[in-house]
Amino acid sequence: GENVEQHPSTLSVQEGDSAVIKCTYSDSASNYFPWYKQELGKGPQLIIDIRSNVGEKKDQRIAVTLNKTAKHFSLHITETQPEDSAVYFCAARFSGSARQLTFGSGTQLTVLP
Amino acid sequence: SAVISQKPSRDICQRGTSLTIQCQVDSQVTMMFWYRQQPGQSLTLIATANQGSEATYESGFVIDKFPISRPNLTFSTLTVSNMSPEDSSIYLCSVALDQGNTIYFGEGSWLTVV
């Protein structure tokens, strides 16, 4: 079945450094790739998304890149701050699905002050 | 985006009982989904809640265990029936907006079964 693999599972960076999280997906016809941030005790918050007709999207310190040929997409956070510490999930919407998402396994990001 | 409210936000339940979780959205939405997130794990889709018809369940989830109602375009309920400790999870309501292209989540209902 459809699958999304996410790496790394944990990531620690110094405040001010950049963080990169990568995901690969199995269905080449997938068309939508969102990223969610989940803080402790809260639901997932959509932070950025990208569609299959775009290669890169940026929103302030956050950017997402998509490589359709290699079937992978990445989240880039620059100038990290302690409040960026959270679990980040990537997801993909596979062709033929009725808007449902398949999620990666999550990355625990810790930004050290 | 949308404001998605879930009740209860947290509960401790006795083994063998059932609990109904409510999800209220501040706008009419066609598509609503229920996800489960087991402790320390990722999100798994339970079912799609269809207005006016039965929910569509994913593999491994059945209606007898997780009955769902969707009486209108702003409200849905998920019942977790005959609970066991393995049902201890976060249950998340989500909606599709922007012509179904963007998915938002509620804050979740954190259930502990003892």
Strands A56-59 vs A62-67: parallel, antiparallel or unpaired: antiparallel
- For B52-111, the pLDDT digits (tens) are 888 999 999 999 999 999 999 999 999 999 999 999 999 999 998 877 678 999 999 999
Q: Is the pLDDT of residue A98 over 80?
A: no
Q: Which of A59, A100, A102, A107 to mutate to test the interface with B (most CBs of B within 10 A)?
A: A100
Q: Report which of residues A109 and A28 the model is more confident about.
A: A109
Q: Which residues contact A28 (CB under 8 A, 6 or more apart)?
A: A68, A71
List chain B residues with CB under 8 Å of A36: 105
B42 Cβ under 8 Å from any chain A Cβ:
yes
Residue in B1, B92, B102 nearest the CB of A49: B102
